[in-house]
């Protein structure tokens, strides 16, 4: 009889421990706004691009303090680069050239909650994205790199191919909310030199990305 009571107590302890360690799964949909920026020594960014982002989000949480959050998203990215139009014996005309592209990416974040009852998560992780563009190649008169001497300048369209290829880097963020709704703000820092995707050019120059994203996620449960 004592053995039966001991087994019953052991079973209750194991069940209680398993209940405390029950893994939580959540699947949701995300929508928001992305502000992207380009960093390069080939051109000066005139202004970044503000565009929508949509995707889905999947959360695995072993407890109320830690979680893993994977997000898959489609965003519009890029920036307006400063460009000029050279004319003989006339000061170069100021223009902008839009390096706009699409990015289909996945990101994985590890989240830490400072307290069980605090609806705030600190997130750190990384992203991998596939960029593709349909940039116009007709504006061949606009130049970048050197804005005063046409002999040292290059055509803006010659950099179009940089925006079709993979991008990756670290990301950090904050998430606020419990239950089915969550607000997110995240910063993505691209480490890949996109200039490497241009054929028949010497290595050395760089084009890299960065973006700041605010979004809202609705979880199905």
Alpha-carbon distance of 75 to 28, in angstroms, equals 17
Quickly count helices (H) and strands (E) in the chain: 1, 10
State the DSSP code for 160: G
Residues 194 and 209 sit within 8 Å (Cβ to Cβ) = yes
Locate 72 and state its tokens: 């898959």
What percent of the chain clears pLDDT 70, i.e. is strictly above it? 90
Strand partners, 81: 45, 97
Quickly state the pLDDT bin for 217 (edges 50, 70, 90): very high
Quickly state the pLDDT bin for 218 (edges 50, 70, 90): very high
Alpha-carbon distance of 189 to 192, in angstroms, equals 9
- The whole-number average pLDDT for the span 89-102 is 92
**Mean pLDDT score across all residues of the chain:** 89
Looking at residue 53, what is its pLDDT? 97
Taking the model in full, what pTM does it have? 0.86
Question: Which burial class, exposed, middle or buried, applies to 27 when counting CB atoms under 10 A from its CB (0-12, 13-18, 19+)?
Answer: exposed
Looking at residue 24, what is its pLDDT? 85
Quickly state the pLDDT bin for 178 (edges 50, 70, 90): confident
Looking at residue 140, what is its pLDDT? 86
pLDDT, tens digit, 9 for 90 and up, residues 47-59: 999 999 999 999 9
- The whole-number average pLDDT for the span 180-201 is 94
Cα distances from 99 to residues 81, 91, 178, 210, in angstroms, run: 7, 24, 38, 14
Domains and CATH numbers, the chain: 23-219 (2.40.160.20)
Residues 6+ apart with CB under 8 A from 9: none
Cα distances from 9 to residues 1, 12, 21, 99, 220, in angstroms, run: 13, 5, 18, 67, 37
Looking at residue 12, what is its pLDDT? 52
Phi/psi of residue 161, nearest 5 degrees: -65, -15
Looking at residue 204, what is its pLDDT? 87
Residues 15 and 28 sit within 8 Å (Cβ to Cβ) = no
Locate 131 and state its tokens: 């960029």
């Amino acid at each position: 009889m004592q053995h039966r009571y001991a087994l019953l107590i052991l079973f209750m302890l194991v069940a209680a421990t398993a209940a405390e360690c029950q893994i939580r799964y959540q699947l949701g949909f995300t929508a928001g706004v992305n502000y992207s920026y380009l960093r390069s020594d080939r051109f000066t960014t005139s202004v970044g691009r503000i565009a929508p982002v949509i995707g889905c989000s999947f959360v695995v949480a072993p407890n109320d303090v830690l979680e893993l959050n994977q997000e898959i998203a489609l965003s519009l990215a890029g920036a307006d680069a400063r460009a000029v139009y050279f004319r003989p014996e006339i000061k170069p005309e100021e223009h902008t050239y839009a390096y706009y592209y699409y990015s289909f990416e996945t990101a994985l974040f590890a989240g830490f909650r400072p307290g069980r009852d605090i609806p705030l998560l600190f997130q750190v992780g990384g992203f991998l994205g596939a960029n593709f563009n349909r940039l116009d190649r007709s504006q061949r008169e606009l130049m970048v790199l050197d804005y005063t001497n046409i002999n040292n300048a290059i055509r803006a369209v010659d950099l179009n191919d940089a925006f079709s290829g993979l991008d990756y880097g670290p990301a950090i963020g904050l998430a606020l909310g419990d239950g089915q709704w969550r607000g997110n703000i995240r910063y993505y820092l691209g480490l890949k030199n996109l200039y490497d995707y241009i054929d028949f050019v010497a290595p050395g120059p760089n084009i890299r990305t960065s973006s700041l994203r605010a979004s809202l996620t609705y979880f199905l449960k």
